[in-house]
C-alpha cells in the first residue's frame, strides 16, 4: 500500500543518556520506596491521565497538589490543594502560584510547547524540586516505517522550533513533544523521566478512539473491520499508566521509556474478538483492506495500516518500560471497562463517538465494498 505522509500524520499524530537530544536515555533507579509520602505536584490533573494519577497516588499516602487554569472540571478533587495559573508565564498570573514551592516529584501531563515546559521546569528546579516526570508521546519519533524500534530512534524535528501551533494536519505535535522533552531535561538533568505513551485508553477517554470498538461491537450486525486481522495494535490503559508513573516516582526511576502495551503482541483481530466476547449481540466482521479504505477516504480510530510509512507505528519496543515495572491488564478487561463507562455517559457525549464513522457512512462503505468484491 502506498500510504501518503498526510495519512501517516493522521494515523499517528493523534496518539502519542544526555546525548545530542539532551535526554536521559538510561534507566536509573534506587529500587527502594521512600519511607515517607511524596509531595507531588501535577501540572494539569483534571483531564484524562491526571485524575488517574491522583487516584493511583492517594491510596499510597502521597500529598497531592494540582496546578491548572481551573477551567476543566474545577470541582474535581475538592480535598486537594489547587493552585491556579497558566502554563504560559505571559498569560494572566502565569506561574506565580508556583513561586517558592518545592515538590519531591512533578508530573507534567499537559506540556505541549517547549517554552512553557521550560518555564515551569526552570522555576520548579530553582525552588528545589527533585524529580520531573514529563509525559511525552510515541508521536515524538521521526519515522514510523521501521518495525520494533526503541527509545534510541531518531526524534522528529521542525524547521521553526519557536512555533506554538500544532499545524493544520497536527504535523507539529510530535516535534513539539520532542522539544518539550529537551526543555524538561535541560533543567532537571538526570533527575528527569520521559514517558512516551502510545494511545492511552480506558474509562474517561473523551476521544473515544479505542472505545469506538467495544461500543460498535456491542451494537451487533455487520461492521467494518479495518485492514487485516493480523495488523498490530498498541494501547495502554490509563490506570496501568498512572499506577506505573507513581511507582516510577516512588523508586526515583529516571530515563526515557516507551509506554505502549501490551507486554506481548496484540492484533486488531484480537481486539475485536475481545470486544465480541463481552457483547450479547451477534456481530459479523467484514475486513476491508487498507487500500480500499484509503480510496474511500475512510480512517478508523486506533488502527493504522501495517505497511508503508506507518508499518512500525504499532510495534514500538516497550522492553525498557516492562523491565522498569510497567504491567498491563488484559485487552478484554480494558474493552469491558471502557464500554461500561461509555454507556453511562450523556447522549451528547455518546454521539461524539459515532462521528468517527457514523452508521450511515459505515453502511455506504460496506455497500461499496460488497459491490466491488461480490461476484
Length of the chain in terms of residues written? 375
- Per-residue model confidence as pLDDT tens digits over 304-338: 999 999 999 999 999 999 999 999 999 999 999 99
Q: What is the mean pLDDT of residues 294-303?
A: 96
The mean per-residue pLDDT over the stretch 242-261 comes to 98
Tell if the pTM clears 0.85, that is, is over it.
yes
pLDDT of residue 31: 54
Instruction: Give the single-character DSSP code of 274.
Output: H
* pLDDT, mean of residues 219-234: 98
Phi-psi region of 202 (alpha: psi -120 to 50; beta: other; left: phi over 0): left
The grid cell for 295 is: 480510496
Domains and CATH numbers, the chain: 15-202+234-259 (3.40.50.720)
Helices (H), the chain: 5-12, 49-57, 114-126, 173-188, 212-219, 238-250, 268-277, 290-295, 319-323, 331-343, 347-354, 359-373
List, for residues 35-69, the tens digit of each pLDDT value.
Answer: 589 999 999 999 999 999 999 999 999 999 999 99
Tell me, what DSSP letter sits at residue 340? H
Residue 132 · residue 106 · CB < 8 Å:
yes
**Band (374; pLDDT cuts 50, 70, 90):** confident
Distance CA 315, CA 193 (A): 22
352-362 pLDDT per residue, tens: 999 999 999 99
| Arithmetic mean of pLDDT, 3-31 | 48
Summary mean pLDDT of the chain: 93
The candidate with the shortest Cα–Cα distance to 185, out of 258, 253, 121, is 121
Whether 12 has a pLDDT exceeding 80, the answer reads no
Q: Quote the pLDDT of residue 366.
A: 98
Amino acid at each position: 500500500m502506498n500510504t501518503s505522509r498526510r495519512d501517516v500524520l493522521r494515523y499517528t499524530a493523534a496518539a502519542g543518556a544526555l546525548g545530542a537530544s539532551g535526554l536521559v536515555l538510561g534507566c536509573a533507579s534506587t529500587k527502594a520506596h521512600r519511607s515517607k509520602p511524596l509531595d507531588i505536584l501535577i501540572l494539569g490533573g483534571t483531564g484524562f491521565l491526571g485524575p488517574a494519577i491522583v487516584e493511583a497516588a492517594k491510596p499510597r499516602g502521597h500529598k497531592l497538589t494540582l496546578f491548572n487554569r481551573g477551567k476543566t472540571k474545577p470541582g474535581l478533587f475538592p480535598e486537594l490543594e489547587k493552585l491556579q495559573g497558566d502554563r504560559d508565564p505571559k498569560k494572566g498570573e502565569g506561574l506565580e502560584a508556583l513561586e517558592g514551592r518545592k515538590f519531591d516529584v512533578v508530573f507534567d501531563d499537559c506540556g505541549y510547547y517547549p517554552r512553557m515546559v521550560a518555564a515551569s521546569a526552570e522555576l520548579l528546579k530553582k525552588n528545589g524540586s527533585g524529580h520531573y516526570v514529563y509525559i511525552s508521546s510515541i508521536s515524538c519519533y521521526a519515522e514510523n516505517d521501521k518495525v520494533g524500534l526503541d527509545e534510541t530512534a531518531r526524534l522528529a524535528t521542525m524547521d521553526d522550533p519557536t512555533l506554538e501551533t500544532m499545524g493544520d494536519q497536527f504535523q507539529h505535535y510530535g516535534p513539539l513533544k520532542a522539544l518539550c522533552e529537551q526543555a524538561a531535561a535541560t533543567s532537571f538533568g538526570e533527575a528527569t523521566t520521559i514517558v512516551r505513551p502510545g494511545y492511552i485508553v480506558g474509562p474517561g477517554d473523551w476521544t473515544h478512539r479505542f472505545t469506538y470498538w467495544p461500543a460498535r461491537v456491542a451494537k451487533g450486525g455487520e461492521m467494518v473491520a479495518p485492514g487485516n486481522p493480523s495488523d498490530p495494535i498498541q494501547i495502554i490503559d490509563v490506570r496501568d499508566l498512572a499506577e506505573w508513573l507513581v511507582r516510577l516516582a516512588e523508586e526515583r526511576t529516571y530515563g526515557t521509556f516507551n509506554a505502549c502495551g501490551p507486554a506481548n503482541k496484540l492484533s486488531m483481530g484480537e481486539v475485536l474478538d475481545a470486544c465480541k466476547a463481552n457483547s450479547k449481540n451477534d456481530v459479523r466482521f467484514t475486513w476491508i483492506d487498507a487500500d480500499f479504505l484509503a480510496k474511500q477516504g475512510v480512517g478508523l480510530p486506533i488502527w493504522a495500516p501495517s505497511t508503508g510509512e506507518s508499518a512500525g507505528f504499532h510495534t514500538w519496543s516497550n522492553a525498557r518500560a516492562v523491565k522498569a515495572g510497567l504491567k498491563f491488564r488484559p485487552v478484554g478487561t480494558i474493552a469491558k471497562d471502557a464500554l461500561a463507562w461509555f454507556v453511562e455517559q450523556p447522549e451528547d457525549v455518546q454521539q461524539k463517538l459515532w462521528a468517527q464513522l457514523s452508521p450511515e457512512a459505515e453502511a455506504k462503505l460496506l455497500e461499496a465494498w460488497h459491490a466491488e468484491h461480490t461476484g
